Structure formats: C-alpha cells, structure tokens
A and B are shown apart, each in its own frame.
Chain A
Amino acid sequence: MTQSSDLRAEIDRIYREEYGRVVASLARRFGDLDIAEDAAAEALLIAIERWPSDGIPPNPGGWLTTTAGNRAIDRIRRESLRDTKHKAAMMITDDTPHEPTGPVEDDRLRLVFTCCHPALAPEARVALTLRLLGGLTVEEIARAFLVPETTMAQRITRAKAKIKAAHIPYRVPERDDVTDRLGAVLAVIYLVFNEGYLAGSGADPVRTELTAEAIRLGRILRQFLPDEGEVAGLLALMLLSESRRTARFAGGELVTLDEQDRSGWDRTLIDEGHTLVRECLARVAATSARPGPYQILAAINAVHTDTNDARDTDWSQVVALYDQLYAVTPTPIVALNRAVAVAELDGPDVALAIVDSLDLSGYHAWHATRADLLRRLGRSAEARGEYDAAIAATENPAETAYLARRRAHLVDPGA
C-alpha cells in the first residue's frame, strides 16, 4: 500500500518535472497548446496504468513525450477524418526526435517567450508560465495568487485562445524584436519569485513552491542564454535571496538582515550566486556594457552575503550600487532602499531627509523605514505612529509580527 502510494507520488513528481518539456515539445510540433496539454494529460494516465507493473522507464521524460506525441497524432487523425479540411495532418510527418537534456533542446525556451508575450495581459503571463512550464495545476496557481479557481481558469483559457487566434508564435524572438521580450520573461520569473519570497497576503509568509519554481525557470533560461548578463543576474539575485530564506523567519516573525542568524544561511546557494555575480562583473568589465537592474540587485545581495557579521557590511559599496541602480531604474522604491543603506553610511538623519522627500505614503515599507529611522533618532512618539501606519498597510503576518515587536520595544520618553 505504502509502496504504491510512494510510486504514485514519484510519478506525480516526474510528471510535474517533465511537464514543461513535454508540452513545449508538443506545442512546437503541433502548433496547438490544447492538443499539447490534453496529450500530456493522457500520457500521465497511461503512465499511472503501466509504470506500476512495467517500472519507471530509464528516460521518463522521453517516454512521456513520445507517448503524448502518439496520443496527439491519434487525435489529429480522428479529427482529420471528421473534417477533411483539417490541415494539421501534415504535421504528423514532422518527427523531430526528443532530446531529453541536450543543449539543442530549446522548446521550453520558445514556450516561455510565448507565455510571456507582451500581447498577453501581465497576470495571464505569470499564470501561463506556471501552468505550462512549471506544470502547476490551475488550482495551485489560483491558491498562490489568492484568486478563485474559476477566475484563474478563465484567465488561462482566454490567454491560450488569444495565442491561437492571434497566432502568437512559438519562437525565440529575434534580437531586433520591437519590444523587450527577454525583459518581459525575466519580469515574470522575478514576479513569481517575489510572490513566493514575501507573499503579499495569506497565512503563509513564504511560498516555497513559487520561489523554487522561479529558480528552476531561471536555471532553464540560463542554460539556453548563458551569455545574457541579466539572465545570470536574475538567477544570482534569486539564489542569494533564497539562501537567507530560513533565517528570515523566527517564530512566525520576519527577521531583518542585520538580526539574522547568518549560520543559517545556505552556503551552497551563496557560493553559486557569488560565482554568477563575479561572472557578470567580468563580462561588464570586458564589454563595457552597462549592467541591467538584475545584475546590480544581485551585486547588492552579494555584498550583504559576503560577511558573517552584519557590522562588517561594506555600506559604501552598497550605496554606490544603489546609485547605479537608481541611474538605470529611477523609481521611488529604489530611492527608498538606497536611503536604508545611506542610513548606515551617513546616519539616520540624512536617510530620513531622503525618505521624507519620497511620495510613497501608500507603501508599507516606506512607513516601516521611517519608523525605524525615527526610532534610531530617539523620536519615539513619531516612530510609534509610523509603526501603526506600516502595520495597517501590510497583510503579511510575519511582517506584522515584526513591526508590532519593534513598536513594543520603543522607549517611551513619557514613562
């Protein structure tokens, strides 16, 4: 009994792991996402039926792709008989072999560009990427983004219908594409990561399935685009953030960088992230290309993860990197994060002047930053009001717990 449920769990794991590969291969071959997805689902049913007695095949991904391909051909043949005008039959002869791990296999890369096409609504891009490449179920995606399952299903159905009707291609776009296609893909992956890293709301402060999926997609992208600095930068940024994940929470409360137990950081992820950042720096030095925002953010995280004691952080380096980041993306949120580093370098009074000049009063982190700076300046009464405002503006329970503790520890000058 245990054995069979273990096997079923193993089949489900393989299926999810291989889903993107299977669907991407079939989508390229048959030019139709519905055919690809239906055939993948049929292949799963056959695997569940056969693998318990036949054993898991040595190349399960190849097995699933071949089986799903055969089911798709059967279906197209059936439909061709009903409708002689059906032109899909000609695609049956395209018998490109399945390459399970070789670097030439770029079907998933094609598909990620399709899923993140700028002609699709941004929220649909995220959902499609998680569904088609991540193999997450519609129910799982709906839960992760806290929308009803029917809403998420409609969003995905509508996006797939548009891909089909408007003929969005399954292709890696050309370099001279009119829009920033790679940027759109990176934005989707980072959004998935961030949604997992500090969930906007809901009971769980972290959704590891989303951070893990974003990193997996980042690795796939890196495999196919090894020379793209921003691809390496995004992967490094995610790895260095992920390395601190378990240290970020203690007893259901958010722990800020300076208070984290650094022995709890994942050294393997940090080493991998640092290697990527060094590679980016070398490329920037060799080509004099201006690094994009992901590379700069990764470099900032590399500085933070470079010391075993928060007090040894090279803050002048961090501020210099934020200056660079602000030059590339001059947003008030970047200015706010820069101000946090300025506080360490030039003192909380200088930082507070910067923070006060920013129009971010609807943003919880702005209030939390102000609260902390006011606390450090001994302006407890004002700090208390800002902690209240920050708590009111956040929905993440771990962050609320952290802010409430900080508020409770304020020295009351009146007492």
Chain B
Amino acid sequence: MTQYLLSVHGPSSVWDTPLEEAQPMYEATGKFNDELKTTDAWVFVGGLERPETATTVDGTGNDVIVTDGPYMETKEYLGGFWVIEAADLDAALKIAAEASKACGGKVEVRPFAGE
C-alpha cells in the first residue's frame, strides 16, 4: 500500500465565499469524508484556514526568524487535503475523482515517498 496526498488549491478569495454559497460543497465533502472514514483508505483530512493566517519559521540558522505569511507567494494556495492509502495509482485516482466531485475543485494526487 502507498500513501497519497490528495490536495485542493484555490485563490485567497475562495475563503471569502459566503456560507450559503459554500454550504452544498461543505455538505458534499462532509458526506464524502464520512464514507471515506469507513474504508481502509482513510488516513487524514483537513481544511486549512486562509493563507494569510500562515507564519513561516526559519530555525536553520543561529537566529530563529519568524515571518508573517506563507513560504511562497502564489496565485493559489493549498486549501485542504486528504491523505489516503491505496494499492496503486488507479485506486488513488478513483478516490480523487470522487473527492474532486464532492469539493468542486481539481485534486492533485501525489505519492508519499516509501519508508
């Protein structure tokens, strides 16, 4: 079995979507998550707070440097993700297709490095 990251991206403005508008997506995603949790594929899911809430910590040098904001400025940001376990890419793509349908966004599928 291999672990895969199923990630969803969006521009900062996505976080401004009014609740009424986002409600059907929340519900579809919630339903998808509930079903996924009953399977062996389930590892983790989480939706992130908007990118402006990010802080970057650099502890590689002698002085610790903490800066406000994400590591990189990009047009779109990681909005949330699933970690799943699947036998191969075909199985992962099948779950990703359902995830994409539920959340209404494209899903990037990336394998984790083996142990």
A/B touching: CB–CB < 8 A: yes
Chain B at the A interface: SS class = mixed
Residue contact B97 to A168, C-beta cutoff 8 Å? no
The reply on B12 being an interface residue by CB < 8 A is: no
**Segment touching A, from B28-36, B49-57, B73-81, B88-96:** B88-96
Question: What residues of A have a CB within 8 angstroms of the CB of B88 in the complex?
Answer: 167-169, 171
Residue contact A168 to B94, C-beta cutoff 8 Å? no
Interface residues of B in 82-107 (CB under 8 A from A): 87-90, 93-94, 97
A177 to B88, CA, bound (A): 13
Chain A at the B interface: SS class = loop
Q: Smallest Cβ distance from A343 to chain B, in angstroms? A: 44
Residue contact A179 to B111, C-beta cutoff 8 Å? no
A-B contact count (CB 8 A): 30
Residue contact B89 to A178, C-beta cutoff 8 Å? no
A363 to B71, CA, bound (A): 46
Question: What residues of B have a CB within 8 angstroms of the CB of A117 in the complex?
Answer: 89
Residue contact A178 to B111, C-beta cutoff 8 Å? no
A167 to B2, CA, bound (A): 8
Interface string of A221-257 (1 = CB under 8 A from B): 0000000000000000000000000000000000000
The reply on A90 being an interface residue by CB < 8 A is: no
Tell which of B2, B87, B88, B110 has the most Cβ of chain A within 10 Å.
Answer: B88
Question: What residues of A have a CB within 8 angstroms of the CB of B110 in the complex?
Answer: 166
Tell which of A117, A166, A167, A171 has the most Cβ of chain B within 10 Å.
Answer: A167
Tell which of B2, B89, B110 has the most Cβ of chain A within 10 Å.
Answer: B89
Q: Smallest Cβ distance from A234 to chain B, in angstroms? A: 23
Question: What residues of A have a CB within 8 angstroms of the CB of B111 in the complex?
Answer: 165-167
A165 to B89, CA, bound (A): 10
Question: What residues of A have a CB within 8 angstroms of the CB of B87 in the complex?
Answer: 167, 169
The reply on A360 being an interface residue by CB < 8 A is: no
Residue contact A167 to B94, C-beta cutoff 8 Å? no
A119 to B97, CA, bound (A): 13
Residue contact A119 to B2, C-beta cutoff 8 Å? no
25 sample A-B contacts, Cβ–Cβ < 8 Å, listed by A number? A117-B89, A119-B89, A119-B93, A165-B111, A166-B89, A166-B109, A166-B110, A166-B111, A167-B87, A167-B88, A167-B89, A167-B111, A168-B88, A168-B89, A168-B90, A169-B88, A169-B89, A169-B90, A171-B88, A173-B90, A177-B90, A177-B94, A178-B93, A178-B94, A178-B97
Q: Which A residues form the contact surface with B (CB < 8 A)?
A: 117, 119, 165-169, 171, 173, 177-179
